[in-house]
Copies of this chain bind each other. A is one copy, B any other.
Amino acid sequence: MNASLPFQWFARFATLLWMFAVAGWIVAPASAQTAPTDSALVRAIFDEVLAHGEAHENLRVLCKDIGHRLSGSPSADQAIEWGRQVLQASGADTAYVMPVTVPSWTRGDVAEASATLPGQEAQELRITALGGSVATPGEDWLEGPLLVVKHLDALDTLDATGHIVLFNRPMDPLLINTGAAYGGAWDQRGRGAIAAAKAGAKGVLVRSLTHALDTVPHTGAMGYEDGITRIPAAAVSTVDASMLARAVASAPERGEEVRVSYRMNCQDLGEVVQGNVVGEWRGTERPDEIITLGGHLDSWDIGEGAHDDGSGIVHTIEALRALNAVGYAPRRTLRFVLFINEENGNRGGKEYARVAGEEHEAGLRHVAAMESDAGGFVPRGVRMDATDDPVALVRSWADMLEPYNLHYFGRGGSGVDIGPLKELEPRPVLVGLVPDGQRYFDFHHTSQDVWENVHKRELELGAATCAALVALLDRHLPSP
């Protein structure tokens, strides 16, 4: 027996002890700091938002204390300062306003209309000016016989001189996707004034863009064309549009006309400087790579812009708050952006992309952007403007997201505000939240788009979905 044996044995034992100790020391803190699995992270985000969510209360403040907030208006200024403060308080390292020059237009306080059907007393029509419309000449009554068409090109072969044109093509009820039905009817509002003026009309009415048959007129952006007379344009409720179309269809038999009269004092006020609000949370591993989540802070100037897009705004703020609350450590720099002027110009989205282009040159790269601008309804999933690989990556999360009733992972139509980021090369992955759309156009651009019509849990599920998707993109998107 060698005398050194006990020592060797002891030495080996001591070494083993030391190794265990070191291993324990390494493993213990590492274990405490180990990032949760994707699945646990998503569950934690949903739990946080459903148990301690602030989105519904934030939306109440935005809708009730500030109200609607059209670009250029004083209430939009108020919303911008509110948004900066809330982003800061919700965990941003820094929150700032990126200046954007926006158009300013006011609806005025007069939008009245009436129709005279053959052999009847004049009856009131429910109208509202389309956004960007000129007033009726002299802010006085504009009166004339009504010509009803369903398609813009119907006017190619009609002389509408002296007439007021009503575009009356309903949104297609057979399309399950209400956004597609909206897109299919949108030309009447967007380009109807141009087509009507080309045919000689002195005014234009547009059937409200909604599946609902009700008495609520829906506003929204419309356009003019240089060299074509700018005629006053208004939305008319679907009930009134249907009534007018029936009356015109039967009027010729009696050899009489349906006549319409309306006046509006809306006005172009030029341009002012407002801005996008940006809340930035710096990345721990790749701070020079950026993932953006946003909605638009501006709204139309009727109702409260609760679904469009107050919901996207509080989704964005809540995603920041919840990711902080669950202890998420972002790898990339996350930006939470409240865009300005989506409704009538998209100047906010364009300016954000212009600045992102400059940053890009300087080595700050957008790898992804997500947008919530389809309402505060129960989420269904996302739409992506992206190449096959990131689409496949997002779809690989389908089983994990299924317990949250997220099932839709389609392509295209990610959003208006993040759309201009498509110009960057390499192009960031663009993602749009897809809430259920059946109710959206009941409220869209109307007096009914108010806080009371947003459901707390549905709003929260949307916020949690945004937060989860941003975190998963941050974790798994490869660097460009």
Binding site for B on A (CB under 8 A): 46-47, 50-51, 173-174, 176, 178, 211-212, 378, 380, 403-405, 407-408, 436, 438-439, 442, 455-458, 461
Contacts and interface: CB of A to CB of B under 8 A. Distances in A.
A284 to B, nearest CB: 28
7 contacts: A47-B174, A50-B173, A173-B457, A178-B457, A378-B436, A405-B408, A439-B458
A176 B436 contact: no
Nearest to A464: B176
Contact of A438 (B174, B403, B439, B461): B461
Contact of A405 (B176, B456, B457, B458): B176
Q: Determine how many copies of this chain the complex contains.
A: 2
Contacts of A211: 456-457
A410 to B, nearest CB: 10
Given A405-B380, A405-B408, A176 B46 contact: yes
Q: Interface centre among A50, A212, A403, by most B CB within 10 Å?
A: A50
Given A211-B457, A438-B455, A438-B461, A46 B407 contact: no
Contact of A407 (B50, B51, B407, B442): B407
Contacts of A46: 174, 176
B174 A378 contact: no
A178 B378 CA distance: 13
A439 B458 CA distance: 8
Given A176-B404, A438-B457, A442-B455, 6 more contacts: A176-B403, A378-B436, A380-B405, A405-B408, A405-B436, A438-B461
A212 to B, nearest CB: 8
Contacts of A47: 174
Nearest to A380: B405
Nearest to A398: B407
A173 B49 CA distance: 10
Contacts of A174: 46-47, 50-51
Contacts of A173: 50-51, 457
Contacts of A407: 407-408
A16 to B, nearest CB: 45
